[in-house]
């Protein structure tokens, strides 16, 4: 037994001692020569430059490990080894291949060009496996942004001669990842159906094939959080917060389950409402009528924002461009009220240093710039900036108009950046139909609202029918001679055949010139003068006696005057405001037709609920002949 233990001890000593002796011998060896094997493209000197041991240095295992890490970090090598053999340091390398071509397979909904621009690897670049994995993740993110969370990307490497390789990304796009359910936790006042109608994300339903709102989008979920917050704040829940918003992906990656955990808090009413003004000649009593709420009303944060806007605009009309209105809110827990104090004071003086316009590929800068109510050097005015945005939107040339303020070169200067997104302004309408008064007809209309990007309006319309033909040409220059004066002309020719219904024919040919200009921000005036040559011919035996009396030719010379009063918040999509128009038309300045025609029209727009607008309109007119009866044709 004793001898067995002795033999085991000697064996262990020999097993440990011999390698240790070899290691100690290596550590004391001096490297006499460095040899690099396996390099094809990369210069030997380049590889040697990453080594921490050169000829004449003592061999060090620690330095060898650091050299290996440095070489691997270059991304040029697939495998490396460094060994000491007879005082010669042998460095063996296997180089990564050079990418010959990158291809994508299976991508039906995302173009190759988009995918190529996203990845970092390119042809003629050294293949690098970590970079490939990063590019796979980038490609997956593209599909996730497009709502395809079940997509997979499998990279394949096809080796070629001369250490080259083709890189192929095999893509399985998978189906759109829908939102299977949306659940709310903690909502006591509003039920799930009410809250679902507020948010933009919707549950998957068969009838939602024209929208992507039922496809999961993390950015849309962030917007939904803000929509819920604004909704609760508008209903008086000042303490509302969203504890968590969790989107859980199903195991088969085919659907998401969204859970929103809400904390509604208590509902508050407005308490004491005060205004503190430190601006000279601006009293609190002047500003209180601009507040649309009173003590006892349910708290609504949007009403505070509206009041601040009204006060800022009102004070701005008195020549104060630098105004700050800050709300001071104090909650009273016992009475569940929120006391509000609006502090009004002059803000720091800031001037417009520069106005930059971007995004307008077709529309020239001057068309946008002339709608801006501020110029370089003006005092910065939020009200004028808001009005400028509305005027640019009312051009109807852009899908989106964004205006933001950025710091200028000094603290008292600001740069206004305007970004627009252009939309199509031209249209070609082709129509084929049948009318009871015209018979079979073909209608062709060509219209361009932003001719050559200059903001001019051109319209050409023609109608060809069995009993009617017409040609109309219209042109408008909104800023004639670079002044805020619109000018335009109209040409027309209309022929009608009423033989089958009224036993006569008519023909009208004429032109008109027109002009308009603003008198102030709300009131504008326009003028129009037109000449019209008309003829009633081929009057049948059974025609009306009134028609027979008017048979022949007439020459009309008509001057039209108009006044337009417009308080609408938008010309094309009004939600509130009033528009009224007065028109006076006098015929008889030359020609052989004499009459006076007066017309008054108006429309009122009122937003009584979110996304609901009530409109009321009316029109009344009166025409009187001057020295003769008014003709009916």
Percentage with pLDDT > 90 across the chain: 29
Where a domain ends, among 376, 392, 422? 422
540 and 417 within one domain = no
542 and 611 within one domain = yes
484 and 614 within one domain = yes
Task: State yes or no: pLDDT of 474 exceeds 60.
Answer: yes
Query: What is the mean pLDDT of the segment spanning 491-514?
Result: 81
88 and 132 within one domain = no
368 and 312 within one domain = no
Lowest mean pLDDT among 163-167, 272-276, 280-284, 301-305: 280-284
- What's the pLDDT score for residue 18? 44
Where a domain ends, among 62, 95, 128? 95
530 and 410 within one domain = no
- What's the pLDDT score for residue 323? 79
Per the domain annotation, does 186 fall within a domain?
yes
273 and 198 within one domain = no
Per the domain annotation, does 428 fall within a domain?
no
Give residue-wise pLDDT tens across range 67-115.
888 888 887 887 888 888 887 888 888 888 889 999 999 998 899 999 9
Specify the CATH number for the domain of residue 285: 3.10.20.310
567 and 494 within one domain = yes
Helix (H), strand (E) at residue 382: helix 382-394
Which has more confidence, 498 or 553? 553
Total number of domains in the chain: 6
| Phi, psi (deg, nearest 5) at residue 92 | -105, 130
216 and 127 within one domain = no
- What's the pLDDT score for residue 17? 44
212 and 161 within one domain = no
Per the domain annotation, does 191 fall within a domain?
yes
Query: What is the mean pLDDT of the segment spanning 552-570?
Result: 87
Helix (H), strand (E) at residue 5: helix 2-27
Contact 147, 176 (CB under 8 A): yes
Give residue-wise pLDDT tens across range 416-473.
999 999 988 888 888 887 766 666 778 889 999 998 888 899 999 988 877 778 889 9
483 and 608 within one domain = yes
Per the domain annotation, does 330 fall within a domain?
yes
- What's the pLDDT score for residue 13? 45
Per the domain annotation, does 161 fall within a domain?
yes
Give residue-wise pLDDT tens across range 519-549.
988 899 999 999 988 877 766 666 666 666 6
- What's the pLDDT score for residue 620? 93
Specify the CATH number for the domain of residue 499: 2.40.160.50
Where a domain ends, among 346, 371, 390? 346
Per the domain annotation, does 116 fall within a domain?
yes
Residues spanned by the domain of 144 = 98-172
359 and 294 within one domain = no
């Amino acid at each position: 037994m004793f001898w067995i233990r002795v033999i085991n001890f000697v064996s262990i000593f020999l097993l440990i001692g011999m390698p240790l002796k070899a290691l100690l011998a290596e550590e004391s060896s001096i490297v006499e020569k460095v040899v690099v094997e396996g390099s094809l493209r990369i210069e030997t000197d380049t590889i040697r430059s990453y080594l921490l041991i050169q000829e004449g240095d003592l061999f060090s295992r620690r330095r060898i490990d650091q050299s290996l890490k440095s070489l691997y970090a270059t991304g040029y090598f697939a495998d490396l080894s460094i060994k000491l053999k007879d005082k010669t340091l042998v460095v063996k390398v296997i180089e990564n291949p050079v990418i010959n071509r990158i291809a994508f397979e299976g991508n039906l909904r995302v173009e190759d060009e988009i995918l190529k621009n996203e990845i970092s690897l390119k042809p003629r670049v050294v293949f690098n496996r970590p970079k490939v994995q990063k590019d796979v993740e980038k490609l997956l993110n593209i599909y996730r942004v497009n709502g395809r969370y079940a997509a997979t990307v499998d990279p394949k490497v096809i080796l070629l001669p001369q250490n080259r390789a083709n890189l192929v990304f095999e893509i399985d796009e998978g189906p759109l990842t829908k939102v299977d359910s949306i659940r709310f936790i903690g909502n006591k006042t509003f039920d799930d159906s009410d809250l679902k109608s507020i948010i933009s994300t919707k549950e998957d339903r068969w009838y939602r094939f024209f929208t992507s709102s039922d496809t999961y989008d993390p950015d849309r979920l962030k917007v939904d959080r803000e929509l819920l917050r604004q909704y609760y704040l508008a209903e008086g829940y000042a303490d509302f917060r969203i504890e968590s918003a969790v989107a859980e992906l199903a195991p088969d990656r085919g659907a998401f389950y969204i859970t929103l955990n809400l904390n509604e808090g208590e509902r508050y009413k407005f308490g004491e409402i005060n205004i503190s003004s430190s601006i000279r000649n601006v009293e609190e009593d002047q500003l209180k009528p601009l507040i649309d709420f009173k003590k006892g009303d349910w708290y609504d944060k949007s009403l505070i924002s509206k009041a601040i806007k009204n006060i800022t605009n009102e004070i701005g009309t008195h020549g104060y461009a630098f105004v700050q209105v800050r709300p001071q809110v104090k909650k009273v827990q016992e009475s569940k009220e929120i006391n509000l104090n609006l502090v009004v004071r002059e803000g720091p003086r800031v001037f417009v240093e520069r106005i930059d316009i971007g995004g307008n590929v077709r529309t020239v800068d001057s068309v946008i710039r002339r709608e801006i109510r501020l110029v370089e050097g003006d005092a910065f005015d939020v009200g004028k900036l808001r009005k400028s945005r509305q005027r640019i939107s009312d051009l109807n040339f852009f899908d989106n108009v964004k205006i933001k303020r950025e710091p200028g070169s000094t603290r008292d200067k600001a740069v206004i950046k305007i970004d627009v997104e252009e939309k199509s302004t031209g249209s070609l309408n082709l129509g084929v139909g049948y009318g009871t008064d015209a018979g079979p007809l073909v209608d062709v209309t060509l219209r361009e609202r932003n001719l050559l990007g200059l903001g001019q309006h051109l319209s050409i319309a023609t109608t060809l029918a069995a009993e009617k033909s017409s040609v109309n040409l219209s042109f408008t220059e909104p800023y004639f001679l670079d002044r805020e004066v619109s000018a335009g002309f109209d040409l027309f020719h209309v022929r009608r055949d009423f033989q089958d219904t009224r036993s006569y024919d008519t023909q009208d040919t004429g032109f008109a010139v027109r002009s308009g200009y603003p008198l102030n921000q709300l009131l504008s005036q326009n003028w129009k003068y037109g000449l019209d040559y008309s003829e009633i011919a081929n009057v049948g035996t059974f025609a009306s006696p009134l028609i027979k009396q008017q048979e022949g030719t007439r020459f009309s010379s008509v001057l039209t005057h108009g006044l337009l009063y417009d308080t609408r918040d938008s010309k094309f999509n009004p939600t509130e405001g009033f528009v009224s128009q007065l028109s006076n038309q006098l015929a008889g300045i030359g020609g052989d037709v004499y009459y006076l025609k007066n017309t008054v029209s108006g429309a009122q727009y009122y937003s009584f609920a979110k996304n609901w607008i009530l409109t009321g309109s009316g029109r009344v007119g009166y025409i009187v002949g001057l020295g003769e009866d008014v003709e009916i044709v």
